[in-house]
Structure 1
Amino acid sequence: MTRVVDIIHLRSSSSCRSVALKSNRIASIRTALAWLLCLGLCAPALSATEDEVMKRVRERFPQSLVEKVFATPYPGLYEVLMDNKLFYTDEQVSFALVGNLIDIKSSQNLTQQRLRKLTAIEWKDLPLELAIKKVKGDGSRRLAIFSDPMCPHCITQERELAKITNVTIYTFMFPIERLHKGATERSRAIWCSPDRAKAWDELLLNRVEPRAKPCADPVKKIEALGTKLKISVTPTLVFGDGTVVAGGIPAQQVEKHLIEAAKNTPG
């Protein structure tokens, strides 16, 4: 059965919370709806403000980056953006509801819609001069990718991107040295190569090591950019409409996102 939601107890008691499941158990659609109904019936007349809930979430999760808290249309239910992931809680932060919130009438995945909006990266905020530019076919569509030359998942992603055409790909070399020893050195060598796009493809697709004399490179600037944009996983793809996909996806999904981005991008 498709997972709808996991409800994790953060504090026990109250009849409403008795609907909750223990951590890692899966709630059925009926249970999830009953939980939301319970929230509506049990919500106090005066709800907590988003700032108050934010404070409580940060107290509960001191080691995590709590970015935003919003009240949802459902009484007593708040959405929390933490570490670029979305979950739901009540105003006392007594549980964490992890999973997808589905609008039954429209069958739309409200969680994915919100996450896409909250984590979007404006294309204009990408300094494309720091990226390796590769035009495929007519280059009419746009895709940026933060990638580590020594990351196995990035190599797999490059093989999938090789199947895509009519796109301009901007590759921001984002070596994670603590995980992939030698990634920084190779990134710098690729940037200093006469043909950067060819040197990148040769290393990622054919494992041919780049050979180039040292030069001024943007590795440190891209590292700072990644921190600013909250890039924590390689590969991370950014489409023309701002949609961010962290982690590798197959060519068919890349194509789907490119088509959707073209629809959502003005001009």
Structure 2
Amino acid sequence: MKLISLLLAAAALTLGLSAQAQESALRKTLAERIPQMGKIDEVRPTAMQGLYEVRIGTDVFYSDAKGNYLIQGELIDTKARRNLTEDRINKLTAVEFSELPLKDAFTIVRGDGKRKVAVFEDPNCGYCKRFERDLQNVDNVTIYLFLYPILSPDSAEKSRNVWCAKDRVVAWQDMMVRDKNPSNASCDTAAIQRNLAFGRKHKITGTPTLIFANGTRVPGAVDAQEVEKRLAEAASDTTSKN
């Protein structure tokens, strides 16, 4: 029995060393052939035999074992009907809800407000306006709205006018849902600058970007049905952790 355990341990060690050698060789080959790729943060095998994930930051590529071919695209598990690339990127870009600087957002509470979602939006974003109109159909939720002016020069001005308004929620919804720009206002807008810094740190490059209570990040103007689905998933994940 002891001999079998020793043999199994030796086999595991050999496999581990082999995997490390494979990873090192793949890193070396890609660095030599495509130096403009930059520093490779991680190499690991995928669910598909012979295919490796090559990660640079939150960007995911795929390669064969020898680094002769590099693929930029999505890996789909047809049996499970899952986009494995999307799942992986969601994990890489997840933001713990507890890490969000909620003091730099304003809140919109609907119904009992038990469910939570944070949204980064630019006032000049057409997709954000479509999203906001859809969001009117979602109830029993607290929305933490982070002003994130990245699209055009006057995005900062409009964001300031909302942040400094007497009623931020009314000013925001007037602009995004009813196409009525807020009145000029001024106050301390350091919170908006902190939002921009937070977004750069976490690579929030487009609006709207949604972050749910389970840390899942969703880019783009998803409809109310998708928001409901994500809120339910977040609630389920939170319950299972507790």
TM-score (norm 2): 0.80
Distance 2:85 2:143 in 1: 28
Decide which structure has greater helix share.
2
- Given candidates 205, 213, 229, the residue that maps to 2:177 is 205
Distance 1:151 1:255 in 2: 22
**Is 1:101 aligned with 2:76?**
yes
Contact 2:23 2:43 in 1 (8 A): no
Distance 1:107 1:195 in 2: 45
Match of 1:172 in 2: 146
Match of 1:196 in 2: 168
Root-mean-square deviation (Å): 2.8
Match of 1:19 in 2: none
* DSSP 3-state at the match of 1:121: coil
Distance 1:54 1:230 in 2: 27
Change (3 A) 1:66 1:211: farther
**Is 1:160 aligned with 2:134?**
yes
**Is 1:118 aligned with 2:92?**
yes
Distance 1:53 1:175 in 2: 38
Bigger radius of gyration among the two:
2
The Cα of 1:256 is off from its aligned counterpart by 0.6
Give the AA of the match of 1:100: L
Structure 1 window deviating more from structure 2 (87-96 vs 156-165): it is 87-96
Unaligned runs of 5+ in 1: 1-43
* DSSP 3-state at the match of 1:186: helix
- Given candidates 147, 151, 168, the residue that maps to 2:121 is 147
User: What do the CA deviations read for 1:19-53 (whole angstroms, capped 9, x no partner)?
Assistant: xxxxxxxxxxxxxxxxxxxxxxxxx9985226952
Contact 1:154 1:248 in 2 (8 A): yes
Distance 1:211 1:73 in 2: 55
Distance 1:162 1:143 in 2: 14
Distance 2:69 2:55 in 1: 16
Change (3 A) 1:182 1:50: farther
Distance 1:184 1:58 in 2: 43
1:1-267 to 2 correspondences below 5 Å? 47-49=21-23, 53=27, 56=30, 60=34, 62=36, 68-82=42-56, 84-91=58-65, 92=67, 94-102=69-77, 104=79, 106-176=80-150, 179-217=151-189, 218-265=191-238, 266-267=241-242
The Cα of 1:127 is off from its aligned counterpart by 0.4
TM-score (norm 1): 0.73
Change (3 A) 1:67 1:139: farther
Identity of aligned residues (%): 37
* DSSP 3-state at the match of 1:135: strand
Distance 1:201 1:65 in 2: 43
Contact 1:54 1:69 in 2 (8 A): no
Structure 1 window deviating more from structure 2 (152-161 vs 80-89): it is 80-89
Give the AA of the match of 1:186: K
Aligned pairs, number:
221
Unaligned runs of 5+ in 2: 1-17
User: What do the CA deviations read for 1:118-173 (whole angstroms, capped 9, x no partner)?
Assistant: 22111111000001111111101110111000111111111111111111001111
